[in-house]
């Protein structure tokens, strides 16, 4: 029996453990979103009196994070491919996008998308939630682009040359060889960007999105009790970031086929 256990693939054990952790953390996040109003209703005033408002703000915060996070990964991949392209116009365009998004405050970007775009053309007018998603996605996409670009450049050139020698097309070389390795290399900064995005989503408050920070501000304004409101808001953010960190760590370990994370 001991000999059988010693031969059990370590990678399989790690994958099972990471999958279980990911499943548990995901279920925990869903339960938080679904049932958070119940424990909040047990809290003393003013939190208990506004439990549903805090719960709704929490759900909107997670929705902003998920929508903008997924869009940001797509934008980051496109910008990274543009930055590493052999075509100068694509490199310049991708470089300009990354330079502007990383060099200006996220708050300015949120306000610009919501207030400035409609002045350029009425068709660019967006609702509060949509504008916040666009601004957050554009911002995190620029940071994701640099992470993915680093991953693409880290893939050994010898593997690409070997693929060419085998007669693989550029498309198959990228899909089967370059991108899988680059994705694993860039995964840690990508998931960190998503976790940071959860906290950055609080800036959607400035354009009227009723997310968690806005919900807390409304309760503070109506009750004039800042301390319990800010403590409750911080605890909810801490809970969300903790669960999302567990999910991101599990994702990293799930793709750590070489076992470098232990």
40: helix, strand or coil: helix
Structure tokens at 2: 């001991």
Distance CA 87, CA 94 (A): 11
Tens digit of each residue's pLDDT (9 = 90 or more) over 113-165: 999 999 988 888 998 999 999 999 999 999 999 999 988 888 877 777 777 77
- What percentage of the chain reaches a pLDDT higher than 90? 47
Which residues are CB-neighbours of 30 under 8 A, at least 6 positions away? none
Least confident range of 143-147, 179-183, 255-259: 255-259
- Pair 182, 154: CB distance under 8 Å: yes
Of the candidates 259, 187, 253, which has an alpha carbon nearest to the alpha carbon of residue 19? 253
CA 193 → CA 1, 66, 127, 241, 248, distances in Å?
Answer: 44, 12, 25, 12, 10
Tens digit of each residue's pLDDT (9 = 90 or more) over 44-59: 888 888 899 999 999 9
Residue 171 has pLDDT above 60, yes or no: yes
pLDDT band at 184 (very low <50, low <70, confident <90, very high): confident
Residue 3 has pLDDT above 70, yes or no: no
Distance CA 162, CA 178 (A): 12
What pLDDT was estimated at residue 22? 61
DSSP code per residue over 195-210? HHHHHHGGGGGGGT--
Between 85 and 11, where is the model more confident? 85
Residue 170 has pLDDT above 80, yes or no: no
Distance CA 63, CA 37 (A): 17
Residue 198 has pLDDT above 70, yes or no: yes
Instruction: Quote the CATH superfamily of domain 62-254.
Output: MetI-like (1.10.3720.10)
What pLDDT was estimated at residue 47? 87
Residue 243 has pLDDT above 90, yes or no: no
CA 151 → CA 70, 146, 225, distances in Å?
Answer: 18, 9, 48
- What percentage of the chain reaches a pLDDT higher than 70? 84
Rama region for 225: left / alpha / beta (φ>0; ψ in -120 to 50; rest): beta
What pLDDT was estimated at residue 94? 94
Tell me how crowded residue 141 is: count the other CB atoms within 10 A of its CB: 26
What pLDDT was estimated at residue 258? 46
Q: What is the pLDDT averaged over residues 28-46?
A: 76
Torsion of CA 119, 120, 126, 130, to 10 degrees: -120
What pLDDT was estimated at residue 90? 92
What pLDDT was estimated at residue 5? 44
- Pair 187, 255: CB distance under 8 Å: yes
Q: What is the pLDDT averaged over residues 165-183?
A: 77
């Amino acid at each position: 029996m001991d000999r059988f256990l010693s031969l059990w693939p370590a990678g399989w054990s790690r994958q099972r453990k990471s999958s279980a952790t990911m499943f548990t953390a995901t279920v925990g996040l869903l339960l938080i979103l679904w049932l958070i109003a119940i424990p909040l209703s047990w809290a003393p005033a003013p939190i208990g009196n506004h439990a549903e408002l805090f719960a709704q703000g929490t759900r909107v915060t997670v929705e902003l994070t998920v929508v903008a996070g997924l869009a940001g990964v797509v934008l980051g991949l496109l910008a990274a491919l543009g930055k590493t392209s052999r075509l100068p116009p694509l490199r310049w365009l991708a470089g300009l996008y990354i330079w502007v998004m990383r060099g200006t405050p996220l708050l300015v970007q949120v306000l610009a998308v919501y207030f400035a775009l409609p002045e350029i053309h009425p068709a660019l007018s967006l609702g509060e939630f949509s504008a916040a998603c666009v601004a957050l996605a554009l911002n995190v996409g620029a940071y994701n682009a640099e992470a993915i670009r680093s991953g693409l450049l880290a893939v050994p050139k010898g593997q690409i040359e070997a693929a060419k020698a085998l007669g693989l097309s550029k498309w198959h070389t990228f899909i089967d060889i370059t991108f899988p390795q680059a994705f694993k290399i860039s995964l840690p900064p990508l998931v960190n960007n998503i976790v940071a995005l959860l906290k950055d989503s609080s800036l959607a408050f400035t354009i009227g999105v009723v997310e968690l920070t806005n919900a807390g501000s409304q309760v503070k304004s109506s009750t004039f009790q800042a301390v319990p409101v800010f403590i409750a808001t911080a605890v909810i953010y801490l809970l969300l970031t903790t669960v999302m960190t567990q999910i991101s760590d599990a994702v990293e370990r799930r793709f750590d086929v070489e076992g470098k994370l232990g």
